[in-house]
Structure 1
Amino acid sequence: MVQTIGNPLSWGAQAAVGTGHALADATSGMRSDPNVSPRVNTIGLREVGLALRLGWRDFLHLRSDVLMLVVIYPIVGLLLAGFAFHAALLPLLFPLVSGFALLGPIAAIGLYAMSRHAETDPAPRWGTAFASLDGHMIGPVLTMGLYLLALFTLWVASALAIYNVTLGPAMPTSVMGFARDVLTTPEGWTLAWLGIGVGGLFALIVLVTTLTSLPMLIDRPVGLPVAVAASLRVARKNPLAVIAWGIVVAALLLLGSLPLFLGLIVVLPVLGHGTWHLYRLAIDFDD
């Protein structure tokens, strides 16, 4: 049907109705669906290895699209490092770079969508994958994004507090001086161990709450409470596999950060696709 230009009042009413429908979809996605009951499977190290292999397969199959999708993340990493040096906040360089991984699950939304779309389309494209997402996931995904951003902020604040009670509060004047203080003084070793312990706690919280919840929200409109509860059940039922996956993620992110974060161009898509396949192995639905 031919669309004509209406008067401003009718156009505004149509826009308001469309916005209302979008907000209703986003809000409805926050509620649990009583008709959906995810079934948690038993997984082990074999499934962790299989998820990684499938993630690598998807990376190779979708490489042209994935590289464009994730090339921004090494740039962001360099910007974080540049900010820390420029602002003379060297103690926050490692927390900023490592804490950026706390936002990884929300940054991998596009990768989950691509792996999902690749299950039915032999030649998927990222535009088509995003087009398949509906309004029901906007509210839950936005909420999870704010949750991860809050954890990232708390981690950076915690790291700064740890520095202040160990080597601070004065900021170091050079990279070499800061490295020498961290590696050769008791206060520096205390800073390192406290930072690793507290950072590991934040990483564990993110891991158990998002491992399967975000892929599930991309997969179907289950509601945010159902998705998060299922992710916690996966961690409770399969602690060895979940911890192993967390170690793999941490190790690959560390390797991918060298040199100059360029390895993340490969590591991020492999982990993103692998997380999708781990979700498929860990969760079943009755339908």
Structure 2
Amino acid sequence: MTSKTTGSTPPEDLTPEPPALPEVNTVTADDIRASLKAGFADFLARPFMSGFFGLFYAVFGILFVWCLLWLGKIWMIIPAVIAFPLVAPFAAAGLYEMSRRMQAGESFGWSDILTVMANQRKREMGWMAFVTLFILWVWFYQFRTVLVIVLQDSSFSDLDGFLNTVFFTPEGWTFLAIGTCVGAFLSAVLFSVTVVAMPMLLDREMDFVSAMITSVRVVKENPVVMLTWAAIITVTMLLSLVPAFLGLIFTLPILGHTTWHLYQRAVSPVQPSA
């Protein structure tokens, strides 16, 4: 029996190819220095608007710790303080937009920046927030698990008692050693998937999985430099917490602006379509 169909045979696979991932560049210590210089310049260009984001972050930290003390969740203070710098990239979305506009020579006001931040809930940034919160949940859960296993016979009636047990008893040292190892691993994971993913999602139309993969590739291709950047962020943020979180008013904006410029150096720009 002959076929009645005519014409050319359609292709078997009509599934469009996924877009190529952005090209990752080699990053050096000079790039970090240049990015810090540019980030500081952005802060000086708009100090009050930049400082607002740092102030908001600092006030949130103060209220969060106060709530833990009020609720009697003394054990959560240490993991909360350690995790606090890890959510800074997400909190700095407005700073990325400010740096982007200054770099492009665009004028902007409060409404422009806040509107862009509000619109991120409709884009892939929301999924990155979910990833961040999930990793933080794992961090708090493992911290509580190790606390119960290692310090099961200890009671903490106040913050001083908790800190004394953790830092001045053999059980506390064991607890710190285990918690530090697990925390370092989770921190490395979170840093790797977010370090350039956050500014990239604000800058480009792409899915959050591709952004995370690109971020991990940046860290993988530049391990020493990116881990140095991670250490700079961690030490700076932790030191900023000492004066009642108020150091964040200055350090968070500078680090946020710097992250934008480092992202620009670490990931090649979008190539115009032919």
Short-chain TM bin: 0.7 to 0.9
TM-score between the two structures when normalised by the length of structure 2: 0.85
- The answer on whether the counterparts of 1:33 and 1:223 sit within 8 Å (CA) in structure 2 is no
Number of the residue aligned with 1:196:
180
Whether the 8 Å contact between 2:22 and 2:267 is mirrored in structure 1 is yes
Q: Deviations over 1:185-219 (max 9, x none)?
A: 11111122222222211211111101111111111
Q: Deviations over 1:76-128 (max 9, x none)?
A: 11122212222222221111122232322211111111111111236543422
Per-residue CA deviation, residues 25-68 of structure 1 (Å, 9 max, x unaligned), is xxxxxxx9945541111112221222222211111112111122
Q: Which residue does the alignment assign to 1:155?
A: 139
The one-letter amino acid of 2:127's match is: T
Picking from 93, 96, 104, the partner of 2:80 is: 96
In structure 1, which of residues 115, 125, 131 is the aligned counterpart of residue 109 of structure 2?
A: 125
Change (3 A) 1:80 1:102: same
CA contact (8 A) 1:38 1:284 kept: yes
Deviates more, 1:70-79 or 1:162-171: 162-171
Partner of 1:23: none
Partner of 1:114: 98
**CA 1:37–1:264: 2 relative to 1, 3 Å:** same
Distance in 1 of aligned mates of 2:116 and 2:131: 25
Q: Which moved more, 1:160-169 or 1:242-251?
A: 160-169
TM superposition score normalised by structure 1: 0.82
1:269 is displaced (CA, Å) by: 0.8
The whole-number CA distance in structure 1 between the counterparts of 2:78 and 2:154 is 17
CA distance in 2, matches of 1:171, 1:125: 51
Write the distance in 2 (CA, Å) between the matches of 1:134 and 1:268.
20
Corresponding residue of 2:169:
185
C-alpha distance in structure 2 between counterparts of 1:261 and 1:139, whole Å: 31
The equivalent of 2:66 in structure 1 is: 82
Are the aligned partners of 2:29 and 2:225 in contact in 1 as well (CA < 8 Å)? yes
2:54 maps to amino acid = V
Q: What is the distance in 1 between the residues matched to 2:98 and 2:17?
A: 25
Pair member with larger Rg: 2
Q: CA RMSD in A?
A: 2.3
Aligned to 2:12: none
Residues 240 and 142 (structure 1), Cα distance of their counterparts in 2 relative to 1, 3 Å cut = same
Counterpart residue number, 2:196: 212
2:124 aligned counterpart, secondary structure: helix
Asked if the contact 1:172/1:178 (under 8 Å) is kept, the reply is yes
Equivalent AA in structure 2 for residue 194 of structure 1? I
1:58-73 counterparts in 2 under 5 A? 58-73=42-57
Residue 164 of structure 1: aligned partner? 148
User: Against the structure 1 CA distance between its residues 133 and 170, is the aligned structure 2 distance closer, same or farther, given a 3 Å change threshold?
Assistant: closer
Identity between Structure 1 and Structure 2 (%):
29
Secondary structure in structure 2 of the residue aligned to 1:156: helix
Aligned to 1:20: none
The equivalent of 2:22 in structure 1 is 38
Aligned counterparts of 2:153 and 2:177: Cα–Cα separation in 1? 18
Per-residue CA distance 1:147-189 (angstroms, 9 max, x = gap): 1111111111111112111223653123332222222211111
Aligned residue among 20, 25, 39 for 1:55: 39
What pairs with 1:21-36 in structure 2 (closer than 5 Å)? 34-36=18-20
Q: 1:216 to 1:137 in 2, by over 3 A?
A: farther
* 152-161 or 166-175, which deviates more: 166-175
Q: Residue type of the partner of 1:165?
A: I
Q: CA deviation at 1:229?
A: 1.6
1:226 aligns with 2:248: no
Q: Are 1:264 and 2:232 an aligned pair?
A: no
